[in-house]
Amino acid sequence: MTDPLARLDQSPARMFVNLPPAELVERAIAAGEGKLAANGALVCMTGDRTGRSPKDKYLEDTKDIHDRIWWGKVNMPLTPERFEIALGIAIDHLNTRPRLYKFEGFAGADPAYRLGVQVVTEQAWHNLFAQTLFITQGSKAAGTPVPFKKDWTIINAGRRRLTAEEQAKLGVKGPVIIAQSLTRKTVVIIGTEYAGEMKKSIFYAMNYDMPEVGVFPMHCSCNVDKATGENPALFFGLSGTGKTTLSADPNRALVGDDEHGWSDRGAFNFEGGCYAKCIKLSKVGEPQIWDAIRFGSVLENTVIDDKTRVPDYDSAKLTENTRVTYPVDFIDGAVIPSVCGHPKNIIFLTADAYGVMPPVAKLSPEQAMYYFMNGYTSKLAGTEAGVTEPQPNFSPCFGGVFLPRPPIVYAQMLAAKIKEHGANVWLLNTGWTGGAYGTGQRFKLAYTRAFVTAILNGTLAKAEYKPDPIFGLMLPTTVPGVPGDVLIPRNTWKDQAAYDAQAKKLAAQFRENDKTFDMPDAVRAAGPRV
């Protein structure tokens, strides 16, 4: 394949490679790309796109990959001819810019499975974002020195909007396109300045590339016992379920907060940094994340006071999706390089707004595959136009929008790892109890942390259990530090007939969703009873 940057003017006077963070911050401020907050973080805005644009994401459809892809709403095909058009638009635009920035680093903390990533941007702050999220050459996070060899290229022309004529040529309906090619190992970003598109495009790449070398790619956080460095735990979950919060534990050492691989050597972070939500952030609630926000980190779409420059983390004036990115070693005591042994406990997080899922349950191998493939949490009323009551949100493998391959591929890899290493799998509900959202209350964080503690110290594995009559899940009868009446969801509702109706409604929704998957009969049988 031709180098995607072959047509790009990379003369030294305009292409700046791997500039240090201080210089990138200085250039970003001088160019009007951001402001410095009182805590030292660079504050940048992403325009009208304050989150990912999944409806504008396309995958080049080639013979090499066609039969391996889970085509549909997640993976929408783009012809090679149209990919070439998008690439040309991005390159032509970047050739008009007075200066460009290139990052050359890695994805994958384990050198045995590391991919070289180069990122070209027109904005200095986008380059700093890449430096914080990927692994910088020569850093402690990189570990054993490995010569840089380019595997993947990201071409970010986020300030360039597609014209109506270009939209027609590309077959798209808006000014934005994120075009990815697994064959060319290239990502083209046009029309959106949301930096998370760069991060997630490489996660998507790892989700395709890693199974080829026997590595199970996972949308999860990971931590280990701080004192021993042992007892790794994985936390799978969609946005808002507590994945970052629960993995940033003062008694545990963070391996990573979002994306990992599980090889025959153990688990390892795909990234060199963290990308945490900031909305409602407090020093008391999440002290590790609070302290990580300093010079060298990037705040996205966060309101700051004009005079004091102090961030207002409670403000959703621009978006609920306020974010901060920082190197993982900004977290005190983080595991550097970000590798660990084989996980013994796997925790699926769900924020059930119906208030009917148990707070904690132990899963059989078949149940683990079933609930992994369904990837359930809830959308809350008011989060989207037209959503007036809680709605189920099923995202396969707790990250469906990042899966190029069919979900069963990843579920089978999970099952193999569970069997090989004897891992326990748990379902942990961080959502509502005593009623649905609006009537009940959210589980106390103290209870959730007590469940996690009991899982990780082995107490819960030795507990007595009884099955839930609808979901079939095994519920512990006692958990240290948690009142017994909290453990059985039905007992927390004043109107238990209403609980039964709500639980049956959610069970039916699970069953409707599982029809969309090709799964073994034993796995399907492990789902709820309707």
| Domain boundary pick from 180, 213, 246 | 213
pLDDT for residue 142: 87
Domain that holds residue 424: 345-524
Can you read off the two tokens belonging to residue 24? Answer: 């990138």
Q: Annotated catalytic residue: which of 49, 57, 82, 243?
A: 243
Whole-number pLDDT of residue 476: 97
Give yes or no for a contact between 338 and 229, defined as CB atoms under 8 angstroms apart. no
Measure Cα distances from 198 to 290, 401, 521 in Å: 24, 14, 38
Average pLDDT for 418-425: 97
| Alpha-carbon span 120 to 97, nearest angstrom | 12
* pLDDT tens column, 209-240: 999 999 999 999 999 999 999 999 999 998 77
Could you give the percent of the chain with pLDDT greater than 90?
A: 89
Segment 418-441 shows an average pLDDT of: 95
- Using DSSP's 3-state secondary structure scheme, residue 77 falls into strand
| Weakest mean pLDDT among 132-146, 288-302, 468-482 | 132-146
Name which of 387, 405, 385 is nearest 396 in CA terms: 405
Is residue 244 annotated as part of the catalytic site, yes or no? Answer: yes
Residue 254 in domain: no
pLDDT of 242 reads: 85
Q: Which of 160, 199, 200, 344 is catalytic?
A: 200
Total domains, the chain:
2
319 catalytic? Reply is: no
Q: Record the tokens describing residue 492, joined without a space.
A: 């927390």
Per the domain annotation, does 393 fall within a domain?
yes
Respond yes or no: is residue 258 known to be catalytic: yes
Given the residues 185, 219, 260, 405, the one annotated as active site: 219
The answer as to whether 252 is a domain residue is: no
Residue identified by tokens 């280990």 is 224
Quick check: is 48 in a domain?
no
- Please state the rounded mean pLDDT for residues 337-349: 97
Q: Which of 435, 412, 267, 277 is nearest to 338 (CA)?
A: 267
Query: Rounded CA gap, 37 and 32, in Å?
Result: 14
3-class SS at 215?
coil
Say if CB 454 and CB 374 are below 8 A apart: no
Q: Is 219 a catalytic residue?
A: yes
Determine the angle formed by the axes of helices 124-133 and 21-30, rounding to 10 degrees: 150
Taking 70 as the threshold, does the pLDDT of residue 359 lie above it?
A: yes
Average pLDDT on 385-410 reads 85
Q: Which of 213, 228, 261 is the last residue of a domain?
A: 213
Active-site residue, from 27, 49, 52, 57:
52
Q: 39 is written with which tokens? A: 């805590």
Which among 56, 258, 352, 468 is annotated as catalytic? 258
Q: What is the pLDDT of residue 375?
A: 96
Percent of the chain exceeding pLDDT 70 equals 98
Q: What is the DSSP string of 381-440?
A: TTSSTT--S-EEEE-GGG-GGG-SS-HHHHHHHHHHHHHHHT-EEEEEE-SEESSSTTTS
What the block records as the tokens of 157 is: 């022309």
Mean pLDDT of all residues belonging to the chain: 94
CATH number of the CATH domain containing 20: 3.40.449.10
Mean pLDDT of 288-304: 96
For the chain, how many helices (H) and strands (E)? Answer: 12, 29
Q: Is residue 194 part of a domain?
A: yes
Whole-number pLDDT of residue 381: 47
**First vs last C-alpha separation in the chain:** 52
In a domain, 124, yes or no: yes
Catalytic position from the list 239, 315, 364, 459: 239
State residue 383's pLDDT score: 43
User: Which position among 126, 199, 323, 417 bears the catalytic label?
Assistant: 323
Q: Do the domain assignments include residue 412? A: yes
Task: Look up the pTM and report it.
Answer: 0.94
- Evaluate whether 194 touches 53 at the Cβ level (below 8 Å): yes
Domain C-terminal end among 213, 238, 264: 213
Is residue 52 annotated as a catalytic residue, yes or no? Answer: yes
| Active-site option among 46, 136, 221, 244 | 244
Amino acid 382: pLDDT: 40
In a domain, residue 340? The reply is no
CATH number at residue 451: 3.90.228.20
Predicted local confidence at residue 388, as pLDDT: 54
